A and B are shown apart, each in its own frame.
Chain A
Amino acid sequence: MTVGLPTPRARRSDDHARGVGLPGLLWIPAAGAFALIALPVIGLVLRADWARMPELLLSESALAALRLSLETAAVSTSLCIVFGGPLAAVLARGRLPGLQWLRPIVLLPLVLPPVVGGLALLFLLGRLGLLGRVIDTWFGVTIPFTTAAVVLAQTFVALPFLVVSLEGALRTAGERYEAVAATLGASPWLAFRRVTVPLVLPGLLSGAILAFARCMGEFGATIAFAGSLEGVTRTLPLLVYLERETDTDAAIAISLLIVVVAVAVIALARPRSVDGGN
């Protein structure tokens, strides 16, 4: 199985065009890197019990986890777009002094162990937490160990993926087109909607796919902040972790399911920026 290996979009029309040539030495570490990614997945495929596969995948717990994973990842990705998109725009284009100090903080979820992020969310939004106490007394709502907690945990870990890739797209695009739009009479809001957003759409799409993939694979923050309740907070990765102890075949089957979903997402919404083209 070739996971995420981009197929060339178009064969070079002229096979005589060699360009400047790639140093041959690069092939060795490149093959090593590829093997590190591909071989474990092949191992999973070889180790899987294909006879029991339908039964394992169609089990009630697996289907419930798949559905929960897809739903929460979709909601979390939408939240990333709705909140992370504007954050990326502010980081790339905002002119307030001190904005550059925000970027390292935004990148925190990338370097923080997810379980630490989950604990932090718990301490903030738990029933005795800083914000959680207020929400509990005013609205009678507790967030931890609910599906909402799953979504929050996923959004927390996935936001930087969207913000970083979109901010890069915004910086690359520059503000020349927006300046033209302004001289044509477009207000900043109109220029943002009609010019900026369409121009960075490929960057937004690839950021959203990265964020969705990160949400689908989210484990640490979810288990710390949302627990593992079947149908409520037990997403596919949590189910794998649970089954691993009791039924290795089931764990492998669900793992492969995650791989298939990930590949399907990349293949379905394959933007050029992820495909390596330009």
Chain B
Amino acid sequence: MIGPNGAGKSTLLGVLSGLIVPDDGEVRLGERTVTGPGLHVPPHRRGVGLLAQQALLFPHLTAAANVAFGPRAHGVPRKQADARARELLAAVDLAELADRRPARMSGGQQQRVALARAMAPRPALLLLDEPLAALDVDAAPAMRSLLRRMVRDEQQTALLVTHSALDALVLADRVVVLTDGRIVEQGPTRDVLARPRSPFTARIAGLDLVPGTVEADGLRTADGTCVAGRLDGVVAGEPAVAVFPPSAVAVFAEEPKGSPRNVFRVRLAAIEPREDVVRLRAAALPGGPAWVDGLAADVTPTAVADLAAEPGDLLWFAVKATETAIYPAR
């Protein structure tokens, strides 16, 4: 599940776990209804596990006791619960830390123990609430592949909340995009991220997106700007989006003349250094169209030096029609 801040992701997780009671609506886990009219199964009887940003390991218990907590709560005898805990700690490569308390573990180790703990009672659904967000850059990749391995090996049904296209692609079979409490896009992760239909999804996928309606030779935005591109299954008059990668955008200080390109006037919002390119982030001009806001262009550091641009400067973004895909918005 991806979505902008305030879209309702945390509320949805709360409703699924039973920590929040919705005014109406129904939650079914497989065949079992856990929230419905006049029905609210309390969190501890739902079988919905949770792994959040913070590991939240019980500080007074060892790693093994933390992992054994769930099975013990379900009435599993102490010995068996402990055996299951050690087995899971071995699965997350932390067998040697079984008798250690959380205070003496790194953030990455704590999060791995927390994953083992969340999976120990074999929940029907595991909620993963940005489980990599609080980890440092060294720990996140290891945790990402561990999550993938654990969730697949144990055939664990899981719902992942993330802001990262990489997490979604690596971990999720399907993705839903939540905006203002509603699902605006959904489908197999690869398809949704390759063909975003909303500015938010495009941004997550690292693509630029311009919304509008289809015309004979391209797309016309609400303010009248025409965008030429490869038309793909669109019908004239229908809402559509024009999508292109930031790497296809050329940036000019003066309006480029006589080229068969789509040209947008933007105000430079930010200069973000990336691996080997520099991403120029656009902001809307005062009184100009809002869709310009957030458009990105990836250019070489040399090109940035030649432009001598600073945030606030007026620039021109240009992209070839052949690099622009136009497809239906829904």
Contact = CB atoms under 8 A, between A and B. Distances in A.
Contact of B56 (A176, A185, A187, A190): A176
A202 to B, nearest CB: 11
Interface stretch (B43-51, B103-111, B303-311): B43-51
Secondary structure at chain A's binding surface: helix, strand, loop or mixed?
Answer: helix
A244 to B, nearest CB: 47
Interface stretch (B67-75, B175-183, B234-242, B246-254): B67-75
A182 B56 contact: no
A29 B58 CA distance: 42
A19 B194 CA distance: 52
Given A177-B58, A179-B19, A199-B59, A185 B50 contact: no
A183 interface: yes
A53 interface: no
B60 interface: yes
A183 B49 contact: yes
Contact of A190 (B19, B43, B73, B120): B73
B121 interface: yes
B70 A185 contact: yes
Contacts of B56: 176-177, 180
Given A177-B58, A179-B19, A199-B60, A184 B42 contact: no
Nearest to B55: A180
Given A190-B73, A194-B69, A182 B42 contact: yes
A183 B50 contact: yes
B118 interface: yes
B19 A181 contact: no
A183 B43 contact: yes
B73 A181 contact: yes
B112 interface: no
Interface string A48-73: 00000000000000000000000000
B43 A179 contact: yes
B117 interface: yes
Given A179-B19, A179-B43, A184 B60 contact: no
Given A194-B69, A199-B60, A184 B118 contact: yes
Given A190-B73, A194-B69, A182 B58 contact: no
Interface string B20-60: 00000000000000000000001111111110001010111
A186 interface: yes
Contacts of A180: 50, 56, 58
B59 A187 contact: no
Contacts of A75: none
Contacts of B50: 179-180, 183
Contacts of B123: 183
B162 interface: no
B59 A184 contact: no
A116 B47 CA distance: 54
Interface residues of A, number: 18
Contact of B73 (A176, A179, A184): A184
Contacts of A186: 44, 69-70, 73
Nearest to A190: B73
A113 interface: no
A188 to B, nearest CB: 8
Nearest to A187: B44
B201 interface: no
Interface string A187-209: 11011001100110000000000
A179 B56 CA distance: 10
B48 A183 contact: yes
A182 B46 CA distance: 9
B17 interface: yes
Contacts of B118: 183-184
Contacts of B70: 184-186
Interface of A: 176-177, 179-188, 190-191, 194-195, 198-199
30 contacts: A176-B54, A176-B56, A177-B58, A179-B17, A179-B19, A179-B50, A180-B50, A180-B56, A180-B58, A181-B69, A181-B73, A182-B18, A182-B43, A183-B17, A183-B48, A183-B118, A183-B123, A183-B127, A184-B49, A184-B121, A185-B73, A185-B74, A186-B44, A186-B69, A186-B70, A186-B73, A187-B73, A188-B44, A190-B73, A191-B44
Given A184-B49, A199-B59, 19 more contacts: A176-B54, A176-B56, A177-B56, A177-B58, A179-B43, A180-B58, A181-B44, A181-B73, A183-B17, A183-B118, A183-B127, A184-B44, A184-B121, A185-B47, A185-B74, A185-B121, A188-B44, A194-B69, A199-B58
Pairs of residues from A and B, 9 with the lowest C-beta to C-beta distance, nearest first: A184-B70, A182-B43, A185-B73, A186-B73, A183-B50, A198-B60, A182-B44, A185-B74, A180-B56
Interface of B: 17-19, 42-50, 54, 56, 58-60, 69-70, 73-74, 117-118, 120-121, 123, 127
